[in-house]
Amino acid sequence: MGGSPAGPGAGGQVLGKGGPPRKLCRAVTARWPQPAGRPRRARSPGGGRTQEPFHAVASPGSPPSALDRGSLRRKHALNCHRMKPALFSVLCEIKEKTGLSIRGAQEEDPPDPQLMRLDNMLLAEGVSGPEKGGGSAAAAAAAAASGGSSDNSIEHSDYRAKLTQIRQIYHTELEKYEQACNEFTTHVMNLLREQSRTRPISPKEIERMVGIIHRKFSSIQMQLKQSTCEAVMILRSRFLDARRKRRNFSKQATEILNEYFYSHLSNPYPSEEAKEELAKKCSITVSQVSNWFGNKRIRYKKNIGKFQEEANLYAAKTAVTAAHAVAAAVQNNQTNSPTTPNSGSSGSFNLPNSGDMFMNMQSLNGDSYQGSQVGANVQSQVDTLRHVINQTGGYSDGLGGNSLYSPHNLNANGGWQDATTPSSVTSPTEGPGSVHSDTSN
């Protein structure tokens, strides 16, 4: 249920309209390298569509061919012809009549909704937005989708790096397109200007031509934007997928969880508060804490024997902590007034060493000393300590059954004792008297 921190399918939904991510992936990998070649292609054949041969206006770089030379000569002859003004006016008249110059002049393109959507998306993803915080919004969203844990900074930076890459490609391509568009527009304008000497070309016509060119280029830009959007979405979905993948918790996190588990073996059900605290300490989500305890309980119960060594280990740790606690408490009792235990607002111990972390957690559960009864808590620590001492004394007999955390906490039908039973009440010194046959799997 709430187990998944990333939430199955949390990613990829943003672009859901485009189709399943797999397909997108293929589409993009096939399409990505292409845009670089487009401007060149757009430049050359575009001119061939006007009525006059554009190559007639020799580009400054290339020497005119024999054909060009002939055409230039003819043009020059035409321009100098004495009948030219008369012919020109006739042409104007004809054009007026055919209405060529008016047609399509008022084609004002409204803002394309799809283009707007793409623009918005790119902005939201931090691709087309302002230079700095780019991607931070998306990354934050992704982090939120994953449960907000902060243990994935590597993936995070990886994501940002890739997003930056996409962003760069997008901008260079966009720049190229704009440049190509401008070049082509000025080229066409020059041609039209040149042609206007031999045939009537109204400013409206020029405007229209420019409009056509811009529309063409903006459609190419839209393709670029679409590809970029797809790339970002794929990156996102992959990023989230990667987070969905199982990753072992850090050693420290496992230790913290184990310490809690084995010190609350009689009732290994952390409260919501305790879960939150554990989650914070382990840099994982509360759901992950719940999962961990669920797994741990079932696996411990299934094969107690296997976990005994681990249990002893953590018991020893607990004992050390307890020893410190007892020492501190005793000292406190001697030096301070007996009614002022060294506790914070939540009633936790302030231990002089690193063990206090664990002690704090213990206090959170509320089962170590309800009602801030530090005395009782100290008693439980003493019990643990005493028990460990006993255990280490009897450990050499080598029999699995004689272990600190023998399954005395489990009742006959395999369940733990009543969940309300605090661990400190059920003294660990109880010993291996209780029943347990299910040490094997």
Partner DNA sequence: ATACATGATTTAGA
Partner DNA sequence: TCTAAATCATGTAT
297 forms part of the interface with DNA (CB under 7 A): yes
Which tokens in the block code for residue 205? 């016509």
- Angle (nearest 5°) at CA 428 between 424 and 431: 150
Region near DNA per CB under 7 A, out of 174-182, 187-195, 217-225, 300-308: 300-308
Between residues 162 and 301, which has the closer beta carbon with respect to DNA? Answer: 301
Q: Among 78, 91, 100, 298, which residue sits at the site for DNA (rule: CB under 7 A)?
A: 298
The least CB distance from residue 269 to DNA, in Å, is: 5
Number of residues that bind DNA (CB under 7 A): 34
Q: In a 3-state reduction of DSSP, which class is residue 54?
A: helix
Between residues 98 and 252, which has the closer beta carbon with respect to DNA? Answer: 252
The least CB distance from residue 427 to DNA, in Å, is: 22
- The separation between CA 138 and the C-alpha centre of its own chain, rounded to angstroms, equals 7
Between residues 40 and 247, which has the closer beta carbon with respect to DNA? Answer: 247
Let me know: does 4 contact 287? Beta carbons within 8 Å.
Answer: yes
The Cα–Cα gap between 397 and 400 comes to 9
Q: Among 16, 104, 203, 294, which residue sits at the site for DNA (rule: CB under 7 A)?
A: 294
Q: In a 3-state reduction of DSSP, which class is residue 335?
A: helix
Within 381-440, which residues bind DNA (CB under 7 A)? 414-416
The least CB distance from residue 272 to DNA, in Å, is: 7
The least CB distance from residue 237 to DNA, in Å, is: 14
The least CB distance from residue 328 to DNA, in Å, is: 32
CB atoms under 10 Å from CB of 348, counted, come to 21
In terms of DSSP H, where are the helices of 8-65?
21-31, 38-46
The least CB distance from residue 402 to DNA, in Å, is: 22
How do the residues of the chain divide into helix, strand and coil, expressed in percent and rounded to 5? 65, 0, 35
86, amino acid identity: A
Q: Which of 35, 2, 70 is nearest to 291 (CA)?
A: 2
287, amino acid identity: S
The Cα–Cα gap between 420 and 203 comes to 88
Between residues 202 and 287, which has the closer beta carbon with respect to DNA? Answer: 287
280 forms part of the interface with DNA (CB under 7 A): no
The Cα–Cα gap between 153 and 315 comes to 33
The least CB distance from residue 233 to DNA, in Å, is: 20
19 forms part of the interface with DNA (CB under 7 A): no
**DSSP label at 265?**
T
Q: Among 18, 32, 47, 269, which residue sits at the site for DNA (rule: CB under 7 A)?
A: 269
13, amino acid identity: Q
Region near DNA per CB under 7 A, out of 173-181, 216-224, 245-253, 316-324: 245-253
Binding site for DNA (CB under 7 A): 1-6, 8, 244-249, 254, 269, 272, 284, 287-288, 290-295, 297-299, 301-302, 306, 414-416
